[in-house]
Amino acid sequence: MARVQRERVLPPLPAETAEDGRIRRYLPKRTSLDDLTDEDLQAIVQEINDTPMKVPDWETPNEAWYRKLGKVMSKTSHPQTNVALTNR
């Protein structure tokens, strides 16, 4: 008799279940996405991204994104190099 190897399924992470819950407020299970327009979906995304989250520090996802983006942009616009520049 051949052995059947069963695949191990891990439970979702807490952050994933929280995000699922937020999405389910707007789109209950078995909701047909065919009935929704792009504008409907963008409105849902915008509202979720503008809702403050407990972690980190009651920021909205948009605020956290722009804060991190600002840090990245400041590093790329003012790179620190350890190379001496010379005119040749």
pLDDT tens digits for range 36-83: 999 999 999 999 999 998 877 889 999 999 998 888 888 776 656 555
Top pLDDT among 14 and 41 is at 41
Residue 14 dihedral angles phi and psi, to the nearest 5°: -55, -40
pLDDT digits (tens, 9 = 90+) for 16-33: 677 788 888 999 988 998
First to last CA, the chain: 77
* Whole-number pLDDT of residue 16: 65
Which amino acid appears at position 40 of this protein? Answer: D
Contact 56, 64 (CB under 8 A): yes
Model confidence pTM above 0.95: no
Top pLDDT among 30 and 11 is at 30
